[in-house]
Structure 1
C-alpha cells in the first residue's frame, strides 16, 4: 500500500518508518508545523492537576521553565502516546482512552468538585475541557504554549504522486491537518484526484473536512495509530 502521511514532524517520520516496516510505501508531506510560544504565561494560583491532549503539548511542556513547579501534580494525558511524550518529571501520569471525551470522563471520576485544572494546550484545540467540566464543579485554566501553522502548498512530491495515481491511502490524525490537505488540494486543482485515495481517519471530526470535499473516508475503531493500521489490513 502507498500511504501519504501529513501529520507534523517528527511524528510523521516515525509513522512512515512504521509503515515501511510493515511492508508499505510511505510518503511524508507535513501540512502543519509546530511552533512553541515562548511568551506564554502560566495562569496564577495553585492547581490540583495538569491535563494534556496532544503529543505536541507534552513536548512543548518539557521545554518550559514552569515544569518543575508543576511536576508534583498528577498529569492526565488524553492517551498513551501523549503520556509517553510527557516530561519524565511527572511521577503520577494517568491515561485516558485516546480522545477528549474519554479524558473528560477520567477527570470527572478522579477530581473532586472545586478542583482547579491546568489545561496545557495549543492555540487550536479539538476539545474544550473547560466547557466539558464546568457542570462538575471543576474549574479549568488554559495554558497555551504552542501553535500549529498550516502549510501554504502541497509538496511537489505529493502533487506528482496524486497526479500519477501513486497514492492509495492517506493517514489523518487531526481535523486541522485534514482540513489543510483538503484546502491545499482545492487550491492546487487536484481535489478531484484525492477522491481516488482512501482516507483513514482518527475520528468522525477528522473525517468531516475530507467527506465535505467528496473524498472517501473510513474511521478507526479507536483514535490511535494502531487503529489506523488496523484499517490497512481490512
Structure 2
C-alpha cells in the first residue's frame, strides 16, 4: 500500500523520503514538470537587490546569460529553503523572511526601503501579485520569469497499475495546478473511479476545492499550508500503525 505524491521534482523525492521515515511507502507521480525560461538580463539596469519566492526561480537562473552579474547583489528570500538555494546558486548576501509572501513584504519594508529597483525572479504562473503589492509600498520591482511548471498529462505506468490493483491508500496534493493536472490525468488513464474513492489530503482549502469540485468525496485540508501540517493530516486519516 502506498501514498501517492503529486508534487514536482526534486521536492517529490524529498517527500517520498520523509514519508518513508514516518513508516509510509511513498509512490512518486509528479504532476508538474520544471521548464527553464530564457531571460535577458540588462547589465545596466542597476538593480539594488534580488527577491525570490521559490527555489525553482534559482534553478531557472542557472547558466542564464548575465546571471553571474547578479551574485554581488543582496537577496531577500521568502523562506529558509529558498535562502539556502540562493546560497547554493552563488549569492553571498542572503536574507530569509522565514515565512511566506507577507513576511517577505514586511522584511523588505523594514530593510530595503532605499533599495531600488528590485529584481523579482519568478515563475510563469504566480499565485499572487507580489510585485504589485510591493509597488503599493513604494518599491520599484522588475519581474523576470526564469521558469514555468508545465502540467504532466500522463500518469506513470506503475501508478496506473497501483490504482487498478487498489494499492494506493491516499493522494497528497500540494498546489491547485498539480491537483488539477492529476484529476485530468486519472480521467485519461481510466482510473478515475478508483482515484476519487480514496482520501485526498491537500495543502490548503484552495487546493481541497479542486478535489471537491472534481468529485472526490474524502477530502481533507491541512491546518496550515506546510508539509508538517499535511503529514499530520495524513496521520489522522491513515495512522502508520493501522496499516
Q: TM-score, with normalisation over the residues of structure 1?
A: 0.87
Cα distance in 2 for partners of 1:47, 1:232 equals 44
Matched, 1:166 2:140: no
Deviations 1:68-91 (A, max 9, x none): 322222212222222222243222
1:28–1:132 Cα change, 3 Å: same
1:13–1:132 Cα change, 3 Å: same
Matched, 1:223 2:225: yes
In structure 2, the partner of 1:134 is 135
In structure 1, the partner of 2:66 is 66
Cα distance in 1 for partners of 2:103, 2:204 equals 13
Asked whether the 8 Å contact 1:114–1:137 carries over to 2, the reply is no
Asked whether the 8 Å contact 1:169–1:198 carries over to 2, the reply is yes
Asked whether the 8 Å contact 1:62–1:87 carries over to 2, the reply is no
- State the 1:136 CA deviation: 0.6
1:204–1:108 Cα change, 3 Å: farther
Q: TM-score, with normalisation over the residues of structure 2?
A: 0.84
User: Aligned residues, how many?
Assistant: 233
1:205–1:99 Cα change, 3 Å: farther
Deviations 1:54-113 (A, max 9, x none): 221122224334333222222122222222222432223222344333333333333317
Cα distance in 2 for partners of 1:151, 1:105 equals 35
1:112–1:225 Cα change, 3 Å: same
Aligned pairs (5 A) from 1:9-158: 9-37=9-37, 39-43=38-42, 45-88=45-88, 89-112=90-113, 115-158=116-159
Asked whether the 8 Å contact 2:58–2:86 carries over to 1, the reply is yes
- State the 1:45 CA deviation: 1.1
State the structure with more CA Rg: 2
Asked whether the 8 Å contact 2:48–2:118 carries over to 1, the reply is yes
Alpha-carbon RMSD across the aligned residues, in angstroms, is 2.3
Structure 2 residue runs of 5 or longer lacking an equivalent are 237-243
Matched, 1:181 2:182: yes
Deviations 1:134-169 (A, max 9, x none): 211112211111122221211222222223322222
Structure 1 residue runs of 5 or longer lacking an equivalent are none
Cα distance in 2 for partners of 1:219, 1:106 equals 29
Asked whether the 8 Å contact 2:41–2:67 carries over to 1, the reply is no
Asked whether the 8 Å contact 2:48–2:116 carries over to 1, the reply is yes
